[in-house]
Structure 1
């Protein structure tokens, strides 16, 4: 794990990252303290077993199920042992992945979201990319398939970090992709400004008690002219301007603000963004988010009204996701 971050620091050549090199190492060390998460030793043990397998001969980041393979297939016994080890990282929520022909059918068809988002992005080649709330890193790997100069995923979940490092082990260090077990709020900003050309925040905004602060913090990490890709839950315009759930939304307690698309556009313009547009609006289906063999807990179907799938179990509009794209002024 230390090697992962040693390599990371060497990729931060821009002078605007000097403050990252000063501030982040102790924060990462604190985040990785085993006393902070009782599951971490178990996940690290499983990760150590993963490292007993050789780096993959080949990998493909531009397919729906991000895949790693060997020219010589694993034996049946090796494959069975690898699958048992991969299952130690349950639940697998964001994917899918194919690791030595073991298909990890994750809770979310994250590939479907990428298919909706990708056509609307500026080319990622040679850009510095930041993915806030990156989960297992599935979208980070898809971004790396576009050949950016650097791709950084940020998520405080140590389970997600270990899932990312599973793929990182098999793929190796040739891809400039890195996972920080931190939050956006912990990322410092140089007095020279942000360094990222494209910043993603997908599935995060509605978990923030202060959504405007979240948008401004995203903006701070961007260079002038950079692109923001913001994907979040919204409510239909027919519902009104804004939903603040009284208690839970789709059984989630940490949902705070669900605006309509026009309201969200106002938020982004008030935060100083230009060229604000909604490029996709999609109601999440029970085919896109569901219980699987790799995520055996309750999923979307259990959170919807059994009599009306257009409503949550609490009676609110069912999950509707908007993808907003906009630019920081030059």
Structure 2
């Protein structure tokens, strides 16, 4: 992440540059001395075999599903086993799939399906400044990197996902993709800076979704765009579901809006040209348990007798993608 500041410190950072530099240094110091899972996962990435891939495929083409790194004949049997074990020790792999020198990481989410729904609506990314909030292992940033943005900056606080990103970057070595082990709240207010902000699968975890959308709005350059992918309930009654306790076994789910409420949130946050570009039921094809996660998945979150409902009796997950302009 220090390279991000070195490479782009000449930009019009404004008075918050010092705060960002301090955040980066603090996070670096934390990662260098952290124990627990951070120390464990850092060791896993450090121990992955050092191989220079002959080829990489981060194609944004809709026919390319996996982030593909190297060829199987580049690794010895011993290194392949070491690679497999290391990647497995970084589980759970939520986003993907990835292919590391013939080791196929079959992630819980088939993220190419969401990319397929989103990609046709993205603006031209060349030389753009992109922020991905809750970037996980970087799957979507890697997909966007092929279109030559100035940079894609991800924020990912969780240890396993951050080090999955580090594992992929160890081999991809993409010069315009970065990730900071931080939350969006940690980031200083970088007003009128980004050209595109992705906020996917995040907003329903926030107690104040409009406040977050307003902060995103203010971080965008005039004419910049936001992508919000969020749980929704079908209908246009300007209403929200607010679970009593859990939704699909998740504790930290607060407001799930219908389509009109989602549009109203974006409008109240200052956005214009608001449009819903996709509404899709989450299916067992897109989200399912694989050997690369050790937790429950969608099938366990639905009523076994009525899959149109969650185990709590709420409507089953539906996700919508909204685009809007600052």
Normalising by the residue count of structure 1, what TM-score does the alignment of the two structures yield? 0.92
Distance 1:183 1:197, change over 3 A: same
Q: Secondary structure at the match of 2:85?
A: helix
CA distance 1:197–1:113, shift in 2 (3 Å): same
Residue 299 (structure 2) pairs with residue 301 (structure 1)? yes
Aligned pair 1:11/2:7, yes or no? yes
User: Which of 216, 219, 222 pairs up with 1:218?
Assistant: 216
1:16–1:194: 8 Å Cα contact kept in structure 2?
no
Task: Evaluate the alpha carbon distance shift between residue 38 and residue 21 of structure 1 in structure 2; reply closer, same or farther with a 3 A threshold.
Answer: same
Q: Give the deviation of 1:321 after TM superposition.
A: 0.3
Report the Cα offset of residue 152 of structure 1. Answer: 0.3
2:324 corresponds in structure 1 to: 326
- Any idea what the Cα deviations from partners look like across 1:112-167, whole Å, max 9, x if unmatched? 10110111111112111100011111111111122111000001112111000111
Deviations for 1:169-224, whole angstroms, at most 9, x for unmatched residues?
Answer: 1012x43100111111111125xx33110100000000001111111121122111
- Of 75-84 and 100-109, more deviation after overlay is shown by 75-84
Note the C-alpha offset of 1:238: 7.3
Contact 1:129 1:199 (8 Å CA) reproduced = yes
8 Å Cα contact 1:107/1:295 also seen in 2: yes
Q: C-alpha deviations, 1:235-284, integer Å up to 9, x for none?
A: 11178711000010000000000000111101101111000010000010
Comparing 154-163 with 25-34, which one deviates more in the overlay?
25-34
Please identify, of 213-222 and 20-29, the stretch whose mean Cα deviation from structure 2 is larger.
Answer: 20-29
Q: Measure the CA separation in 2 of the matches of 1:99 and 1:23.
A: 34
Which stretches of structure 1, 4 residues or longer, exceed 4 Å deviation after superposition?
none
**Is the counterpart of residue 25 in structure 1 residue 24 in structure 2?**
yes
Tell me the SS of whatever aligns to 1:278. strand
Counterparts of residues 1-330 of structure 1 (less than 5 Å)? 5-12=1-8, 13-16=10-13, 18-19=17-18, 21-29=20-28, 31-32=30-31, 34-35=33-34, 38-50=36-48, 52-62=49-59, 63-70=64-71, 72-172=73-173, 174-190=174-190, 193-237=191-235, 241-328=239-326
- Which SS does the other structure have where 1:184 is aligned? coil
- Higher alpha-carbon deviation: 130-139 or 212-221: 212-221
Q: State the distance in 2 between where 1:73 and 1:16 align.
A: 42
Contact 2:125–2:144, Cα closer than 8 Å, also in 1:
yes
Q: What is the Cα deviation at residue 34 of structure 1?
A: 4.7
Tell me the TM-score normalized by structure 2: 0.93
Deviates more, 1:79-88 or 1:63-72: 63-72
Larger deviation, residues 217-226 vs 273-282: 217-226
**Aligned 8 A contact 1:124 1:147 in 2:** yes
For 2:226 and 2:236, the matched residues in 1 are separated by 27
Q: 1:256 to 1:55 in 2, by over 3 A?
A: same
Deviation at residue 21 of structure 1 after TM alignment: 4.3
| CA–CA distance in structure 2, aligned partners of residues 129 and 319 of structure 1 | 28
Q: Which runs of 5+ in 1 are unaligned?
A: none
Long gaps (5+) in structure 2:
none
Q: Is the 8 A contact 1:249 1:255 kept in 2?
A: yes
1:72 CA drift (Å):
4.7
The question of whether the paired residues in 2 share the 8 Å contact of 1:31 and 1:182 is answered with no
Q: Secondary structure at the match of 2:24?
A: helix
Of 316-325 and 38-47, deviating more is 38-47
Query: What is the alpha-carbon distance in structure 1 between the residues aligned to residue 208 and residue 292 of structure 2?
Result: 33
